[in-house]
Amino acid sequence: MMGRLAIGALETGAAGQPGAQLANPLMTTAETPIARARRGDADAFRQLFERWSRPVISFVFDMVGDRALAEDLTQETFVRAYRHLDAIRDESKFSTWLFSIAKNVAREHLRSAERRTSKVELDDETVLELRDEGAGPAGELLDKELNKVVKRALDSLDEDKRMVFALKVFQQRSYEEIVEITGFSLPKVKTDLHRARAEMRRRVGPYMGVRP
């Protein structure tokens, strides 16, 4: 549903210009989706959306703590990406560039509006899957409680540490990519990550039988 909404917005002219045009069938199929999307190929941009929307939602969700809001901000992220595809010079860094846009969108929201107080769905798989296959009712109850603890611990981090932790631990981004996405120096990224991990370990460790 979200994919159709986002692509539909682009096809009707997200940047205030005529919407995406159908690709010329005579164009070579060897071109990358990014190159084709630059020419207004809606199917090519849909491929990019389908490949990267879920990771972006997960990252934004870790920043704002609200699933529906994360989906809305992810749509805004892709609209901005569509408008500025010509800015990409190295297509191999598309995902880094996209996460950088998502970071800006999430930060703008956090700084311009009060954070929402609605609770995250405890079984949302984009947060942190801790449930073992085949767990019984008692085990599922404990897993939900642990997810709640993890979410509270994540929310307790300041914005910079939460962002770095989410990118490194949940998104598995390299230090170099995190530097590009956040604009932080490498020493700051490493320091923030070290402190975030220590705080998460301190808060979550006791529930997992791990010493802080």
26/100 same-domain check: yes
Looking at this protein, which amino acid is placed at residue 9? Answer: A
Q: Tell me, yes or no, if the pTM score tops 0.75.
A: no
Residues contacting residue 4 through CB under 8 Å, at least 6 positions apart: none
Same domain for 100 and 38? yes
| Residue 126: inside a domain | no
CATH number, residue 156? 1.10.10.10
One-letter identity of residue 147: N
pLDDT for the residue numbered 208: 64
Q: What is the pLDDT of residue 129?
A: 38
Q: Tens digit of pLDDT per residue, the chain (212 long)?
A: 555 555 555 554 444 444 444 444 444 446 889 999 988 899 999 999 999 999 999 999 999 888 999 999 999 999 999 999 998 888 889 999 999 999 999 999 888 754 333 333 333 343 343 333 444 444 444 566 777 788 888 888 999 999 999 999 889 999 999 999 999 999 999 999 999 999 988 888 776 665 55
Distance of alpha carbon 157 from alpha carbon 16, whole angstroms: 38
pLDDT at residue number 130: 36
Look at residue 7 in the predicted model and tell me its pLDDT: 55
CATH number of the domain enclosing 54: 1.10.1740.10
Q: Give how many domains the chain has, as a whole number.
A: 2
Give the helix/strand (H/E) hosting 195.
helix 186-204
Please name the residues in contact with 68: beta carbons below 8 A apart, sequence gap of 6 or more.
none
pLDDT single digits (tens) 13-64: 444 444 444 444 444 446 889 999 988 899 999 999 999 999 999 999 999 8
Predicted pLDDT of residue 204? 81
What is the share, in percent, of the chain residues with pLDDT greater than 70?
68
* 11 and 107 part of one domain: yes
- Claim to verify: residue 159 and residue 190 sit in the same structural domain: yes
Nearest CA to 131 out of 143, 142, 118 is that of 143
> Which residue range(s) make up the domain with 105?
1-120
The pLDDT score that the predictor gives to residue 193 is 94
Q: Residue 170 domain-assigned?
A: yes
- 54 and 116 inside one domain: yes
